Amino acid sequence: MIVLGIETSCDETAAAVVNADRRILANEVFSQIDEHTPFGGVVPEVAARAHLELIDGVIETTIEKAGITLDDLDAVAATGGPGLIGGVLVGTMTAKAIAAVKGCPFIAVNHLEGHALTARLTDDVTFPYLLLLVSGGHCQLLVVKGVGNYKRLGTTIDDALGEAFDKTAKMLGLGFPGGPAVERIATAGDGQRFSLPRPLMGRPGADFSFSGLKTKVRQTIEGLPPGDLQEQDVADLCASFQVAAGDVLADRVGNAMAIFQDLHPDTDQPVLVVAGGVAANQVLRHRLQSLSSEQGFHFIAPPPNLCTDNGAMIAWAGIERLRLGDTDAMNFRPRPRWPLDPDAPPALRGNGAAGAKA
């Protein structure tokens, strides 16, 4: 079973070929960072046009590197949402066209499910497991019960953590994307110098809030002598932000671990999976790995290149669904919003922006 996966939900044009033996035959990602850096963030119209220009070439390269032809495909999977709708349209229409011409099934994959199931591609994890899905567009804690079967334990009430990283970087003049820059510069900083808030920490439940942390970073910058933001100030503020974010994640995930064990008391070895772009942050990974050891959970985080948006996760989710006979008709309509747990109550939103994929 060989599936082509196409991912175009944000600012990466990606495609991959994966087989049912969990082998990634090819995995190509073309980043649009250069196109969006002048704007300090992702511009939806720019992203959609770039996807349209790049998608054919990326797929052609992927197929060539996989050593197959389009005739060898058993299905074509593409991100059907959630995400920036212009980009999602490009990916789904391309996938439909290939599937129609080659007479193979088309599968519309929930982008979040692609992240959720990546650990089954990399580590063959069994259901159920606890998932922290954290990136620039989403921040959730879920129980993964099976393919298409999720229970949300918590979500952000305002900003996603990745967005808070990017906004912090922007305020400090570190450019875009901000997450990797903050992590890199924080290595030279003192994480205890600045007193930053830990929103919702110590409270029941597994929801997140990062708007207040982001606001305090801005206020701290404004409180320093005008025009006198030194290199060490930037490093210390990055480190302090990262420590605060780690404290919040550990607290919220700790609560979710307790809920998970109440829901699934017979699980022999509970597993915490961390996925999404922020899962590539090594400091946060180590913090959550330590928490997992303390709580008796096995910790799994995919390789960094499979944490950020990629086609391999979409192809694998397509394989998971194809095994169940779950495919989509050609009249599937791309979705800008697509929750993994449609029965979860709406999050109580604060004043922040939840992100394009929340």
Is residue 356 pLDDT above 70, yes or no? no
Could you please report the per-residue DSSP string of 198-228?
-TTTTSSSS-B--HHHHHHHHHHHHHSPTT-
Amino acid identity, residue 6? I
Give kind and range of the element (H or E) at residue 100: helix 85-102
Domain 126-303 -> CATH class: alpha beta
pLDDT in tens, 14-68: 999 999 999 999 999 998 777 877 777 788 888 899 999 999 999 999 999 999 9
Helix (H, G, I), strand (E, B) or coil at 295: helix
Lowest mean pLDDT among 35-39, 73-77, 147-151, 166-170: 35-39
What average pLDDT score do residues 164-186 get? 92
| 358 has a pLDDT exceeding 50 | no
Q: Is the pLDDT of residue 238 over 80?
A: yes
Check the CA dihedral 152-154-158-161 and report its sign.
negative
Same-fold call for 2-116+305-323 versus 126-303: yes
333 torsion bin: left (phi>0), alpha (psi -120 to 50), beta (else): beta
DSSP helix/strand/coil, 82? coil
pLDDT recorded at residue 348:
61
Average pLDDT across the chain, whole number: 93
The burial of 268, by beta-carbon neighbours within 10 Å (0-12 exposed, 13-18 middle, 19 or more buried), is given as exposed
CB neighbour list of residue 282: distance below 8 Å, 6 or more residues apart:
183
Residue 352 pLDDT greater than 70, yes or no: no
Per-residue pLDDT reduced to its tens digit, 311-338: 999 999 999 999 999 999 999 999 999 9
Given this model, what pLDDT does residue 178 score? 87
pLDDT tens, position by position, 199-218: 999 999 999 999 999 999 99
- CA nearest 167: which of 357, 358, 352? 352
Banded pLDDT at 349 (limits 50, 70, 90): low
Looking up tokens 């990136």 gives 135
Q: State the DSSP code for 58.
A: H
Of the ranges 19-28, 167-176, 240-249, 289-298, which one carries the lowest mean pLDDT score? 167-176
pLDDT in tens, 87-126: 999 999 999 999 999 999 999 999 999 999 999 999 999 9
CA distances from 74 to 18, 107, 238 (A): 11, 11, 47
**How many CB atoms are closer than 10 A to CB 195?**
9
For residue 41, the model assigns a pLDDT of 74
Quote the strand ranges of the chain, DSSP E.
2-7, 12-19, 24-31, 75-81, 106-110, 129-134, 139-146, 149-155, 271-275, 298-300
How far is it, in rounded angstroms, from Cα 247 to Cα 245? Answer: 5
Could you state, in order of their start, the residue ranges of all structural domains in the chain?
A: 2-116+305-323, 126-303
DSSP strand pairing (106-110 vs 24-31): unpaired
Distance CA 203, CA 180 (A): 29
CATH 3.30.420.40 fits 2-116+305-323, yes or no: yes
Place of tokens 């495909």: 73
pLDDT surpasses 50 at 351: no
